[in-house]
Structure 1
Amino acid sequence: MIRFAFAFWLVLLNAAAADPVLVKSGEHDGFTRLVLEFESPVDWQVGRTDDGYLLHVRNVSPNYDFSQAFKAIGKGRLAGISSDPDSGDLQLAVACACYAIPFEFRPGIVVIDLKDGKPPKGSSFEEPLAARHKPESAKLPVPHYDWAQNVVLDLRAEREPIPQATLAPPPSSDPALQTLRESLLHQLSRGASQGVIDIAITPAASADTENHAPASARIGLGELPGLSVTDGLPTHDTIGAEGQNCIDPERLAVSTWGDDTPIFAQMAASSQGLVGEFDQQDDLILERAIRFHLFIGFGAEAKQLLLAFPGDQPDRAIWQSMANLVDGNPDPQSAFLAQQSCDGPSALWAILAQDNLKDAHGVNTNAAFLAFSALPIGLRRGLGPTLADRLMAVGATDVAMRVRDAILRAPGGAGSETSLLQAKLEMYQGQPAIAEATLKTMVVDPGPGTPAALVALIEAQVAQDLPVDPNIVTALEAVVAEQPDLAAAPAALLLAKAASGDLDGAFALLPTAPETEPKLWRILALLGTDDEILRHAVLPREAAMPASQPDAGPMLAKRLLNLGLADASLQWLDAETTADPLLLATIHLQRRDGRAVVRVLTGENSKPALVLRAQAMQQIGDEAAAALIYAQAGDAIAESRALAKSENWQQVSLRGEEHWKQAASALIQPAASGAAGDGPLAEGKRLIDNSDATLGVVQSLLAQVEAP
């Protein structure tokens, strides 16, 4: 029995030693990150070797899994990674002027950052560390058996459940981890608020404590996605959020369909032996050849293989759809329809296949981004702009920005399509001036992306209310004629004509791009001449208000009001409840509808509103009320004139202008009477003197009052 227990222990030790240590990676700005996830805390050491660095784990010979080591990074910094077959030491070959900064994120997770530049002075990780080779006698661990531990009873006893691992509180004394800690907490909170992750809190193992810990937490420091929290249950990548069957991720693992060797060598090897004896095709080699062509983005060639070598492979429909999508062709009968909510790579291809997605509901944008980041860089550059367009269309602009970043992180030129994507994102972020600068560079340096850049340049200039150079209009006319499949070109041509001053020509093109009508009316309001306003903005009586941008209607209403067309102006305003009260009141005042002015300005007490209300009262004929409102508005001159029109001479003599005060006083004061016993000549002279005084006051008043 003791021999059985001893053998069983040896088997357990060998099985534990065989558990793989997954090596993940991520490319970041200025450094490359490696993450090693051990099953339990380890005692580790990092030092220099002749060609890089070495990680030694004491008393353990890890079995490293490198399947994902180069999944998200190139070989610009990390040229190679391997493990010593004897000691299990991890060897890192470095191909850059960079240095290693290792740290333990938490027990069992070791992180190694390869950073550009020179290492800090005194760094212990720059000390030489030679690979350790185990002697033959040490290759098979022989455990020490302690008879006092009663091993047989322990094996028979019921095994206690292993407590769940908890997240230890991060050390506050290490400033190097502060940025990482804050980033993790931010991403965790953001994911929980968006419903992307669930954080379950369960009681701690001890019943008499109030401490709680997450049920299960796994933190990935790789490039994508950066954080994962789970309840420990198995994932179901083949079942979508709506219960549909999702395509198995293994069938869409595009990154495994090729490698880093030269393309010409892979292409020759991919189809070698495709046709054998008696012209019989080899289905396995056919599958390898089709997948390789998709790996390098040769969709048309992959379709040619499917056509030339018919068969009954279960993935033929998937390959056919992928071939269309990597070439940028529409795929209405795609094998990926209704897959956009899946958790695997099929969500990416479903988004690419459908250009009619309206919102992000039911679209797994995070899964699509993860699948996109795992694609070869050639496919990322080719599919990234289309994917970003789809994501922006459903409102996932933040994910679209991550798509752009995943392209820009790779070495080499990103291409014109990525520059165009950058400009579109700048437009979405409300920075049309920056987008215009990016697009002008593309237009000045002609290339395959010039027509699309020209179209986007018009959108950027129109967004800034800038005039368009007539030469650009001529160039766009050539684009529309030569590239009828460029869907956005007709709309850009219409807007370019309008912004260049040819509004009549723009309205003539409106049937070809009806979606531009709201912008066209705004350009008319900003740049149109009075004649063009009269030709296009004066609508037939009872006509409905055209589709326009929110500020275009009020601007056109003001233009028509200045031309004296109050009724035509009124047609460009929404209902009274949403229109600007002051503008609406001004229109009603010009229409001589004073009561409508008073109704519209109910509750408005600003000085312009009070002045309009007073003018409305004058239209109604209530000069006394108008005078009171002018006084409330602080307009003494208008108040004085309203009092004069109301013939309230007593108030005019007290509150009116000086010349009005004199006239009012002459009217309300009795004429000077003569002395008792004056004769007719004296009385006549007195009347003449009073008349002369009154005439002088009237002449002074007329000299100072403006003619109506």
Structure 2
Amino acid sequence: MKLLLVLLIFLAGPAQAQSVSVRSGEHGTFTRLVFIFPTPVDWTLGRTPAGYGLQITGPTLSYDVSSIYQKISKDRLRSVWADPESGALLLGIDCECHAIPFELTPKILVVDIRAGRPPEGSSFELALADGTKAPPIQAAQRPRPRKATKSDQTYDWLAQAGPAQAQAAADLTAAKTGMENDLRLEDFRSMLIDEVGRGATQGVVEMERPSPTIASSADTLPENARVALNELPGIEISTKEGARPDLMVRGEVCPKAADLTAGPWAATDNPGSELAQARSALLTEFDVPEPKMVLHAVDTHLYFGFGAEARLLLTRFLPAGQADPLRIGLSYLVDSERPPENPFDAMQSCDTAVALWALLAAPDDKTLFHVNGVAASRTFLSLPPHLRSLFGSEVAKRLQRSGDSANAEVVRQSFERAVPVGDPTVSLLTADQALYSGSPIAAEAALPTTASGETAMAALLTLVEARFQQRKPLEGNDILTLEAFAFENGSGTFKPQLDRALSHGAALAGDFKNAFSRAEGTAVLEQDVWMLLGEMGAESQLLTFAVGLDPLRRATLPLATRTMIAKRLLDTGLPNAASDWAQSDDIGADLAARIALANGDARSALRALATQLPDADPDLVAASYAALGDYDSAASTYQAAGDREGAIRAQRWARNWPTPSNSAAEADENSPAEPWGTVANLIGTDETQASAPPLQASLAQLGQSKATREAIAALLQTAPMVSAMTPP
């Protein structure tokens, strides 16, 4: 019997280990569920008819959802149950909401139920059963109460009873109602006391003794009194200030230990005495490190800018795994380095000092969102002068880059007061701020003239960026200085910035071969060089690099760049090469039609312009019709656009010569005679000259010949022979 009992205990152990703890919480705009698994699992979240389903690959798990509704309501999550057949956990959704899951750790899965429609292309909106796309969840339609009908009416026996029976029934109803009210009030009191006790144990509410004016016994409450919070006998409730948690960008609670303010780290500004006292207190009587004193020594080293030494203290004097990762990350920052493993990730929205360190620890190429600029600038103002001079320039630039120009200016002014008068880094920061705000001319004017070392290199990088925005070339000495900085830095931290500056500088100077060589392997830089080639490149450079380019490489360029180069090639007289750059469907219709006409493909031009009708360029449409020989359609296009001269010209291309009567009718009485009509009136013989004397007839023919020459000359001035006879 004992052996069987032991065997049952061992068999129950693994079954108990397969239980999944489910926690919940409300976060304003979304409801959060946290699943804590005993071991790492493979999970799939998909749509079900009732909402969503969570399927776990492997053995069937049991979910502990007993306390899921203690902190959340049923506004979004209506129900939670496990499917007995598939073992999936089913979530019933009762709102126009969507679910977004993410793994916090391999054993912790977080599912957020957010209001609104799901994002486009979300894989979690596919059906869990067959993987098909499911429609968005709609809010439940609750039935409205229907009007009472005759069949719903009941028999009122009190109205038919006598006075004695009615009074007895009324007394019975009153007694029953009073008893029910007493039971409900007692249940409500018990529930409220239980909830208050649970809130007190969790730290959400605190218990206080009531003031003397509050009733001390339930018997003193007046009859039919409404029980409110402060009316409970012997209990008074008040909400704690700051109970709302401080959340990160991803929704996790900001760590309390992240409040690393620099003010109390050191008692004085004497590094020698402070560091000596901190080191002397590291060990106790038996040479055992005291964790509290170790942290004090670490903070002292961080205060005075000794990051590597502080990191060594954390890793050598504390047990393995107990070193504070936030302080380790901060030790890299005070040494002007990026932490290899960023412990401040997604903490830039916290309302503590950690927002400043998260801003500084982010990679240079990463755009930060929801930056708490107020907390970052507040923490920066509390730093000592030497740390403000160390971090000021970078903090101001990153705040400016995140769109918080107000707090960036606060940091800049504080940084200016922390550094010596005339420090070139202040002018450099002013230039950077002007550059980010879109004023390259002001940025170039604010650059320091006397700088050395990394400050001189940063000033030169800012100058190149300002010239790039103005499309102005650099001087030869500046390019030589950039190359010297690049050779000195090698593959250091400034290599990406130097490569960008050298590539832009070479392109601005017209050396596109060197520019493409510098930009090779960096897509953004290559796009910049192609853009400069289209804007500023000579025709010989276009022939060298643009003609015959690989189609796959050409397709990676932005539409604006491809359009610009296609126009340049067309204007240069290379319509075949321009058509290679205009093969994609996103090229404008007008440009595609011009290139097709230049290549003799009028039908393709009309197909391209058909998508723009009736707003297409009438000159291009008429030219396309004329190229096909359809001069009547060309004339009609000009006529519809109100271009009378163009319509007449198209009629001449069609050999549709106007008669003198038509010309006279079309001409306005206030306008001069139409030259073609004048010439048409000269056609034919004058019968009066046949009977005139020879001298008079000769003089008449001479005058007619002179008038004919003048009319033909006027006609040729308005419609040259080539234009009149040969259409474009």
Corresponding position of 2:515: 506
Supply the distance in 2 between the matched residues of 1:356 and 1:318 (Cα, whole angstroms): 20
Corresponding position of 1:664: 680
TM-superposition CA deviations, 1:86-127 (whole Å, max 9, x none): xxxxxxxxxxxxxxxxxxxxxxxxxxxxxxxxxxxxxxxxxx
Residues 1:588 and 2:596 aligned together: yes
Residues 1:706 and 2:720 aligned together: yes
Partner amino acid, structure 1, of 2:675: H
Deviates more, 1:369-378 or 1:352-361: 352-361
Corresponding position of 2:528: 519
Partner amino acid, structure 2, of 1:661: G
The question of whether the paired residues in 2 share the 8 Å contact of 1:358 and 1:394 is answered with no
TM-superposition CA deviations, 1:454-506 (whole Å, max 9, x none): 12211111011111112211111111111131131111111111111211221
Decide whether aligned partners of structure 1 residues 159 and 344 sit closer, same or farther in structure 2, where only a CA change above 3 A counts. farther
Supply the distance in 2 between the matched residues of 1:624 and 1:701 (Cα, whole angstroms): 26
Corresponding position of 2:485: 479
SS at match of 1:472: helix
Residues 1:432 and 2:440 aligned together: yes
Counterparts of residues 568-647 of structure 1 (less than 5 Å): 568-573=577-582, 579=588, 581-598=589-606, 600-601=608-609, 609-630=617-638, 638-646=646-654, 647=656
Residues 1:234 and 2:239 aligned together: no
The question of whether the paired residues in 2 share the 8 Å contact of 1:340 and 1:348 is answered with yes
Aligned length, in residue pairs: 476
TM-score calculated relative to the size of structure 2: 0.56
SS at match of 2:301: helix
Correspondent of 2:260 among 252, 263, 269:
252
Counterparts of residues 690-705 of structure 1 (less than 5 Å): 696=709, 700=713, 704=717
The question of whether the paired residues in 1 share the 8 Å contact of 2:329 and 2:343 is answered with yes
TM-aligned CA deviation for residue 234 of structure 1: 2.3
> For the aligned residues, what is the CA RMSD?
4.4
Decide whether aligned partners of structure 1 residues 394 and 451 sit closer, same or farther in structure 2, where only a CA change above 3 A counts. same
Corresponding position of 1:462: 468
Residues 1:649 and 2:680 aligned together: no
Decide whether aligned partners of structure 1 residues 261 and 703 sit closer, same or farther in structure 2, where only a CA change above 3 A counts. closer
Corresponding position of 1:130: none
Supply the distance in 1 between the matched residues of 2:459 and 2:451 (Cα, whole angstroms): 11
Residues 1:371 and 2:379 aligned together: yes
The question of whether the paired residues in 2 share the 8 Å contact of 1:652 and 1:664 is answered with no
The question of whether the paired residues in 2 share the 8 Å contact of 1:249 and 1:346 is answered with no
Counterparts of residues 182-331 of structure 1 (less than 5 Å): 233-235=241-243, 240=248, 242=250, 244-249=252-257, 252-259=260-267, 261-274=269-282, 283-306=291-314, 309-311=317-319, 314-331=322-339
Supply the distance in 1 between the matched residues of 2:639 and 2:247 (Cα, whole angstroms): 75
Correspondent of 1:344 among 348, 352, 359:
352
Residue ranges of structure 1 left out of the alignment (5+ in a row): 1-153, 161-230
Supply the distance in 1 between the matched residues of 2:464 and 2:374 (Cα, whole angstroms): 32
Residues 1:445 and 2:451 aligned together: yes
TM-superposition CA deviations, 1:613-656 (whole Å, max 9, x none): 33333223233443454456666654443332332322556559
Partner amino acid, structure 2, of 1:460: A
The question of whether the paired residues in 1 share the 8 Å contact of 2:245 and 2:253 is answered with no
Deviates more, 1:509-518 or 1:460-469: 509-518
Partner amino acid, structure 1, of 2:329: S
The question of whether the paired residues in 1 share the 8 Å contact of 2:393 and 2:415 is answered with no
SS at match of 1:660: helix
Correspondent of 2:562 among 535, 544, 553:
553
Deviates more, 1:608-617 or 1:426-435: 608-617
TM-superposition CA deviations, 1:355-390 (whole Å, max 9, x none): 178554565454444333333233233234444555
Supply the distance in 1 between the matched residues of 2:530 and 2:211 (Cα, whole angstroms): 85
SS at match of 1:253: coil
The question of whether the paired residues in 1 share the 8 Å contact of 2:682 and 2:708 is answered with no
TM-aligned CA deviation for residue 259 of structure 1: 4.4
Corresponding position of 1:562: 571
Decide whether aligned partners of structure 1 residues 628 and 236 sit closer, same or farther in structure 2, where only a CA change above 3 A counts. closer
Counterparts of residues 167-186 of structure 1 (less than 5 Å): none
TM-aligned CA deviation for residue 437 of structure 1: 1.9
SS at match of 1:545: helix
Supply the distance in 2 between the matched residues of 1:472 and 1:430 (Cα, whole angstroms): 23
Supply the distance in 2 between the matched residues of 1:335 and 1:412 (Cα, whole angstroms): 33
TM-aligned CA deviation for residue 430 of structure 1: 0.9
Supply the distance in 2 between the matched residues of 1:317 and 1:645 (Cα, whole angstroms): 83
The question of whether the paired residues in 1 share the 8 Å contact of 2:249 and 2:346 is answered with no
TM-superposition CA deviations, 1:4-30 (whole Å, max 9, x none): xxxxxxxxxxxxxxxxxxxxxxxxxxx
Decide whether aligned partners of structure 1 residues 397 and 357 sit closer, same or farther in structure 2, where only a CA change above 3 A counts. farther
The question of whether the paired residues in 2 share the 8 Å contact of 1:238 and 1:246 is answered with yes
Corresponding position of 2:213: 157
TM-aligned CA deviation for residue 564 of structure 1: 1.3
Corresponding position of 2:74: none
TM-aligned CA deviation for residue 327 of structure 1: 1.2
The question of whether the paired residues in 1 share the 8 Å contact of 2:258 and 2:353 is answered with no
TM-score calculated relative to the size of structure 1: 0.57
The question of whether the paired residues in 2 share the 8 Å contact of 1:240 and 1:343 is answered with no
TM-superposition CA deviations, 1:215-262 (whole Å, max 9, x none): xxxxxxxxxxxxxxxx97424567646553533257623221024544
SS at match of 1:649: coil
Supply the distance in 2 between the matched residues of 1:695 and 1:480 (Cα, whole angstroms): 78
SS at match of 1:271: helix
SS at match of 2:554: coil
Decide whether aligned partners of structure 1 residues 397 and 467 sit closer, same or farther in structure 2, where only a CA change above 3 A counts. same
The question of whether the paired residues in 2 share the 8 Å contact of 1:497 and 1:503 is answered with yes
The question of whether the paired residues in 2 share the 8 Å contact of 1:662 and 1:697 is answered with no
Decide whether aligned partners of structure 1 residues 241 and 320 sit closer, same or farther in structure 2, where only a CA change above 3 A counts. closer
The question of whether the paired residues in 1 share the 8 Å contact of 2:559 and 2:587 is answered with no
Supply the distance in 2 between the matched residues of 1:255 and 1:470 (Cα, whole angstroms): 48
